[in-house]
């Protein structure tokens, strides 16, 4: 494994009272610096976080959205001089023991993205709901076609970023579609991207996307609108060669 950069691990959290203590107990075993972005929780999550002394908490006074929480984490990592940022969700769908692996991969890539479909693990936990799997595959294929990428999982929240690469991104999408804007900007900036296989774990198949987005077709339409908007904003032209990083041991270029 490549040497570890100075890295921050960040968790976007909204109403995760059922999971947050258990997940954080595991995360702090594998990460020295942990940031929790509490996105206006109202279910007791904030009180649980207030009792911890082993993590840093930034709280949004009101719920702003998944993308907004990640944007806060990006800004914190930049402002505090970290070399890498690992993001991990707080619903138990990611394995904290893989945090250091993702951080280390930032030595040869700007964005290291977990993929639940890159490899088939022997013991998947749960089954991805049919509509989510269909939408993920559809949007991933469309991103690959339009951006010249070779992704297998456009939506996995378990990622690592070189912080100097984050400085090149301008996130405006504050909801669950934020990763799609990020992929467009990453391709536009020709960032080096690598996927790493992570297990498929689904513990809460009924998790809400909020309001109208719980309808699969409306969600798919919204995702496409976000991609179109990001393409227009960047005036993106597909690269001659895709910026997906193939396995190698060469250092990433200096940002």
- pLDDT of 254 strictly over 60: no
Judge contact between 193 and 40, C-beta under 8 A. Answer: no
Judge contact between 103 and 160, C-beta under 8 A. Answer: yes
Decide if 247 is inside a domain.
no
The model's pLDDT over 96-151, given as tens digits with 9 standing for 90+, comes to 999 999 999 999 999 999 998 887 654 555 566 788 889 999 999 999 999 999 99
| Domain tally, the chain | 1
Decide if 244 is inside a domain.
no
Give residue 249's pLDDT.
Answer: 40
Decide if 246 is inside a domain.
no
Q: Work out the pLDDT band at 173, boundaries 50, 70, 90.
A: very high
Alpha-carbon distance 27 to 21, whole Å? Answer: 10
CATH number at residue 69: 3.90.550.10
Decide if 254 is inside a domain.
no
Can you give the residue range of the structural domain that contains 175?
7-234
User: How far, rounded to the nearest angstrom, does the alpha carbon of residue 166 sit from its chain's CA centroid?
Assistant: 12
- pLDDT of 241 strictly over 60: no
The model's pLDDT over 23-44, given as tens digits with 9 standing for 90+, comes to 999 999 999 999 999 999 999 9
- pLDDT of 245 strictly over 50: no
Decide if 158 is inside a domain.
yes
Decide if 187 is inside a domain.
yes
Residue in 125, 92, 99, 118 with CA at minimum distance from that of residue 201: 125
Give residue 206's pLDDT.
Answer: 57
- pLDDT of 238 strictly over 90: no
Average pLDDT of span 178-187: 96
Helices (H) and strands (E) in the chain, counts: 8, 7
- pLDDT of 174 strictly over 80: yes
Whole-prediction pTM value?
A: 0.88
Which residue, chain included where needed, has tokens 């504050």? 174
Decide if 243 is inside a domain.
no
The model's pLDDT over 186-233, given as tens digits with 9 standing for 90+, comes to 999 999 999 999 987 755 555 666 667 778 899 999 999 999 999 999
84-87 and 159-162 beta bridge pairing:
antiparallel
Decide if 249 is inside a domain.
no
């Amino acid at each position: 494994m490549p040497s570890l950069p100075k890295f921050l691990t960040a968790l976007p959290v909204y109403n995760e009272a059922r999971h947050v203590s258990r997940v954080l107990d595991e995360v702090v075993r594998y990460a020295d610096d942990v940031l929790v972005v509490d996105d206006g929780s109202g279910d007791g999550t904030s009180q649980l976080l207030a009792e911890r002394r082993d993590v840093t908490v930034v709280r949004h006074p009101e719920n702003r959205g998944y993308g907004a929480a990640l944007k806060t984490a990006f800004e914190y990592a930049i402002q505090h001089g970290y070399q890498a940022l690992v993001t991990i969700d707080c619903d138990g769908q990611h394995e904290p023991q893989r945090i250091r692996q993702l951080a280390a991969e930032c030595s040869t890539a700007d964005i290291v993205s977990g993929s639940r479909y890159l490899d088939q693990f022997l013991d998947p936990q749960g089954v991805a709901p049919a509509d989510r799997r269909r939408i993920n595959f559809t949007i991933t294929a469309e991103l690959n076609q339009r951006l010249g990428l070779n992704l297998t999982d456009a939506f996995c929240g378990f990622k690592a970023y070189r912080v100097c690469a984050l400085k090149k991104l301008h996130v405006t999408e504050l909801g669950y579609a934020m990763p799609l804007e990020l992929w467009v900007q990453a391709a536009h900036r020709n960032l080096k991207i690598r996927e790493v296989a992570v297990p498929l774990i689904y513990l809460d198949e009924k998790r809400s996307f909020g309001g109208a987005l719980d309808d699969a077709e409306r969600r798919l339409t919204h995702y496409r609108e976000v991609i179109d908007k990001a393409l227009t904003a960047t005036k993106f032209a597909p690269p001659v060669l895709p910026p997906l990083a193939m396995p190698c041991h060469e250092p990433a270029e200096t940002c």
